Amino acid sequence: MVHICLLPTPYSLTPYSLKKMKDILSALLNELTLSRKQMVEVFEQIMTGTAEPAAVGAILALIQQRGASVDEITGAATVMRSKVTKVTVPNGLTAIDTCGTGGDHAGTFNISTAAAIVAAGAGRENDLVVAKHGNRSVTSKSGSSQVLETLGVKLMVSGETLTNCLDKAGLCFCFAQAHHPAMKHAAPIRAALGIPTIFNILGPLTNPAGATRQVMGVFSHDLTEPIAKVLANLGAEHAMVVHGKGLDELITWGKTRVSSVENGEVRTYDVNPAEFGIKPCRVEDLQVDSSAASAAVIEKILGGDKGPARDIVCLNAGAALLVGGIAKDLATGYALAQHAIDTGKAKAALDQLIAITQADMS
């Protein structure tokens, strides 16, 4: 029997919360999963800075060791959503997201960011906009924020500016560091642990614009269905959780596992790019060594260059247009994405995003 002793600390712990944390740790040490309600209680303490750091570290490590359950992820995401600094979506517009978990260590250019730009170009005239959520990367050469900053997008802007971006450009970037102030309580504990935790999959589940339609890439084949069930629990209208042979994207050189959520139902299937006439490539054809290199690839795609980079962006943008409700199927979405590039609408969306954020005086 392992005994847990929580020492007195300067944190605002009540006898009730101390007992709860002990009960949680005891359950986890006995290899039990937590209920959604228990996870909400735990994360309320974590995200308000009232939890004892040693206990939080132990809880995160124990959950990571066996893998978080659907109810545990749902409870944690529910609390994070309640703490987020929200972005207002203009009336009459539908917001989607293309944020993935990252963590695939593939070193590709920023595919989901490029897909967001293309989807915005295709979607705005149909009242579909993209509230792209993202952060700085710690596992790849270029995170979404780094590449957008390299392209000229100002990251730290006001909420009014973000709403204006959605209205005028059909696209905004919700920089995670500006929208999750409660993460300051968890950050030191995560840094001290130095291992992946449940937090690594929570970001894409907490879109600041409240997007209920999204394409979410995950770093493991085994995560597509559980995360889809989480999204169903959280009220997703239409979502696709995807993993393609080691990448948190739909890929063009083999089958992608997809778990889709629609009307509360989860369905899992494979997407074969050959069905869309896409020529297979190698992951090496898409790899970059810096955010500058990633930005250059995106600029070439938006400028009309054809090849494997454009193909994979259009496939992922097509999925975004499908969940957004303006494409009847993935093939139609793929064609709409290509059209947005060829007509210059995708480039115009990025140009407007850059101009509007640069004009912000925050």
The dotted CATH code for 94-358 is 3.40.1030.10
Say how far apart CA 63 and CA 79 lie, in whole Å.
17
Say how far residue 181 (Cα) sits from the centre of its chain: 17
Q: H helices of 108-248, where?
A: 111-123, 144-151, 159-168, 176-179, 187-193, 199-202, 224-233
Question: Domain segments of the chain: what residues?
Answer: 15-83, 94-358
DSSP string, 224-268: HHHHHHHHHHTT-SEEEEEEBTTBSS--SSS-EEEEEEETTEEEE
| Residue ranges for the chain with pLDDT beneath 50 | 1-13, 16
Question: What's the pTM?
Answer: 0.93
Closest CA to 130 of 83, 174, 97, 106: 97
User: Pairing relation of β-strands 94-97 and 213-217?
Assistant: parallel
The burial of 335, by beta-carbon neighbours within 10 Å (0-12 exposed, 13-18 middle, 19 or more buried), is given as middle
Say how far apart CA 212 and CA 197 lie, in whole Å.
24
pLDDT tens-digit readout, 269-292:
999 999 989 999 999 999 999 999
Q: CA neighbours within 13 Å on the CB side: how many for 41?
A: 15
pLDDT for position 15 = 52
- Fold entry, domain 15-83: 1.20.970
